Amino acid sequence: MKLIDIQSILENWCPIKNAEDFDNVGLLVGDNNSNINKALITIDTTEAIIDEAVNLNCNLIITFHPLLYKGHGHLNSEEYVTNIILKAINNNINIYAIHTNLDNNPEGVSFQISKKLGLNNLEILMKKEEDQSLGMGMVGDLEIGMEETDFLNFLKEKMEISNLRHSNFRRKIIKKVAVLGGSGSFGIEEVLKNNIDCFVTSDLKYHDFFKPNNKTLLVDIGHYESEKYTKELILEYLNKKIPKFACIIAKTRTNPVNYF
């Protein structure tokens, strides 16, 4: 199958124009006239991912995080990125990124978290001004309200994580929950305006945890952890649209954060 046809399917689902200005999505490495044998789906592209693609005869990597963002500068400013790109080129592997255009999809990254948590009555947390059907994050209701500690245990179970960080307990029932995959501190003000009981996201800084002021419970589950099910989302979409096309989820661990 031609890469340009796979691109068309992905971009019909998540148009490049829906990505944020800082982002770098689409075909990053390769030739859109390439004949694709098989695709490998990953959150990040590392040298180990290139090795896995070679071993599995995959000549397309569909990555969630791009290798470079706009304004990044010269390639040699990040040696590891240069090495990945050269390794991909030397092995005739194409790299395609789908990132904030999937974040902004109403059935994208945050929707996937919402499904894991069984949230109902879903709405977009932060709608784009120019298109109210697109935006970052989701808000929904739990089937049954929970005590805070019960909710955190539930969250750890559903997201398959062993630890998390949270703000001070409010001693109130958790019913209305907002989720935002990836770095979500920019969503705190919107959460506070909408009387949401809990905000699940990642990459919160020390001072972010002061912001709720007993108005909501902030929970940081980790960046990779909040986005890891995105691989399944991409695979499910491609299997639905082109069921005879071979694509698989990468087994290589790409989370750069380790816990001790």
pLDDT digits (tens, 9 = 90+) for 94-111: 999 999 999 999 999 999
Residue 73: pLDDT above 70? no
Q: Global pTM? A: 0.94
* pLDDT bracket for residue 68 (50, 70, 90): confident
Query: What domains can be seen in the chain, in order of their start residue?
Result: 3-102+229-249 (3.40.1390.30), 104-227 (3.40.1390.30)
* pLDDT bracket for residue 71 (50, 70, 90): low
The average confidence (pLDDT) of the chain is 95
pLDDT digits (tens, 9 = 90+) for 231-255: 999 999 999 999 999 999 999 999 9
Mean pLDDT, residues 3-17 taken together: 97
CA distance 58 to 36: 8
Mean pLDDT, residues 139-150 taken together: 98
Mean pLDDT, residues 145-163 taken together: 97
Torsion of CA 32, 8, 114, 67, to 10 degrees: 20
Residue 74: pLDDT above 50? no
